Amino acid sequence: MPDTVTFAEVAPIIRANCMPCHREGQAGPFPLVSYTDMRRKARTIRKMVVNRWMPPWPADTAYSHFLGERALNARQIATIAKWVDQGSAIGDTTNLPPMPTAKDATMSGTHPGNREPDAVVWLPDTFHIPGDNRDRFIIAKAPFELPRDTFLSVVEFVPGNRQGVHHMNGAMISYAEGAKQDVHTGAAYIDADSTQSLDAYGDLLLQNDDGTWPLMTPNMVNYLPGLSPPIYPPGIGGYRIPRKGAFLVNTLHYGPSMRDTMDRSRFNLWFSSTPPGRPMKELQLGTLGMSPVIPDLVIPPDTVITFRTSLRIPADISVLTLNPHMHLLGKSFLAFALTPSGDTIPLVRIKEWDFRWQYAYTFPTMLHVPRNSVIHVVAVFDNTRANRNNPYDPPRMAQAPVGVHMRTTDEMLQFFVNYVDHRPGDEKISLDPHGEK
């Protein structure tokens, strides 16, 4: 470390680890892009990084490693602290890369080549959220017409109201050529609490013109706080996207609000010239998934309880991305695979669960999990006053959701595993789309 630390040494650290959220259009409460931005918030930055409150990276880097880790090491923290203590000088910035200029960047700053989206598909109308402190669940569609059928490498849901949108689960509707004349007809939003899914799909006019149902690709795009869609190298994952279609929002959850607000969300699309040679598949463990939670996910007040779920893998798989999910009472999360030979494959460990930061964790290279291995999940829930995220004081009984809609105050234990069928040599294939080692 130099005797005098300047902006030239600090900027690369903050831009790599803080700026993805602290920039226009993102969740950070203030920007950290320019020297002026960082100088203005220097004391705050120092306090947050020295106490390891920021940047948020819930996964334990001593257990497993993933792409895009934002956990600062001791030298990086000391560099920032010294810069602030010495007066936050700008120094010589001759060799500093140009300041990013993308507005409302979302994934534009992380997509390979910093590419802007190739297309943007908006939900058709603004949704007004009454300030009555109630959860709301909406079904909607975002229709699109493209010049031609093509391939899709990444689709990203971007909430228009990041404070209001809690989560979104989405699918893609594909219309065969000539099957649907006008994809834009039908209702814009449907109240999910007052209708059944098939009735809602009818009101959205999702059917083909002859009354038959089009092809649906389920669980294609999702949103949770802190979650960014993974980007895989060409040929891995991806989808075929038709000339005419729609993104079906099966659940758009707006959390309780005490004031009237509004939202108009969108989908950013990045196309690819490469067809999806190895389609991605998904395992879902736990709540509403392929394996039961043991014991039943019921958490009495003033208790701290451990729950488990496990799933045997019938064939060799190559794991790409993991997504742990709990709600406000989550305390810790551990997932690992146990092979038939008794070896343990670490997956992910989160010692201090934070509902606000739920990432999709992508491995640097594909991870081989042999057939007949068992994936184990062990999660602890804290329904006491000591849990600062507990929505109730005094604590109340909490349990898994009844029905298909997940309220913030319901509890869940889920673990999503995205994978492809295993091929020899997969462990040597980098999943870094930027080509970094």
What's the average model confidence in pLDDT over 272-282? 88
What is the distance between the alpha carbons of residues 324 and 331, in angstroms, rounded to a whole number?
A: 12
| Sign of the Cα pseudo-torsion (219, 222, 224, 228, in order) | positive
Q: Alpha helices, DSSP H only, in 122-231?
A: 197-203
* pLDDT tens per residue across span 361-408: 999 999 999 999 999 999 999 999 999 989 899 999 999 976 655 566
The Cα angle at residue 150 between residues 144 and 154, in degrees rounded to 5: 75
The closest alpha carbon to 167, from 135, 143, 191, 203, belongs to: 135
Confidence band (pLDDT; 50, 70, 90) for 223?
A: confident
| Residue 418, C-beta contacts closer than 8 angstroms, at least 6 positions apart | 230, 237, 280, 281, 282, 319, 320, 321, 322, 323, 360
- More confident of the two residues 357 and 65: 65
Confidence band (pLDDT; 50, 70, 90) for 326?
A: very high
pLDDT at position 103: 46
pTM summary value: 0.81
What's the average model confidence in pLDDT over 232-248? 91
For the chain, what is the mean pLDDT? 89
What's the average model confidence in pLDDT over 78-100? 89
pLDDT at position 108: 46
What's the average model confidence in pLDDT over 317-331? 94
Token pair of 28 as six digits: 């950070």
pLDDT at 436 over 60: no
What is the distance between the alpha carbons of residues 209 and 7, in angstroms, rounded to a whole number?
A: 61
* pLDDT tens per residue across span 100-109: 654 444 554 4
pLDDT at position 250: 85
Confidence band (pLDDT; 50, 70, 90) for 410?
A: confident
pLDDT at position 102: 47
How far is the first Cα of the chain from the last one, in angstroms, to the nearest whole number? 24
- More confident of the two residues 327 and 163: 327
- More confident of the two residues 18 and 370: 370
Q: Number of helices and strands (H, E) in the chain?
A: 5, 21
Does domain 108-272 bear CATH number 1.10.3470? no
User: Which of 13-22, 80-89, 242-251, 295-304 shows the lowest mean pLDDT across its residues?
Assistant: 13-22
Domain with CATH 2.60.120.230 in the chain: 281-428
Confidence band (pLDDT; 50, 70, 90) for 28?
A: confident
Instruction: Report the share of the chain in percent with pLDDT over 70.
Output: 92
Q: Selecting from 1.10.10.10, 3.40.50.300, 2.60.120.230, 3.10.20.740, what CATH number does the domain 281-428 have?
A: 2.60.120.230
pLDDT at position 437: 41
pLDDT at position 288: 86
pLDDT at position 104: 47
* pLDDT tens per residue across span 292-310: 999 999 999 999 999 999 9
- More confident of the two residues 356 and 108: 356
Sheet holding 317-326, edge to edge: 281-286, 413-421, 317-326, 361-369
pLDDT at 97 over 80: no
pLDDT at position 107: 52
* pLDDT tens per residue across span 36-51: 999 999 999 999 999 9
Instruction: Report the share of the chain in percent with pLDDT over 90.
Output: 62
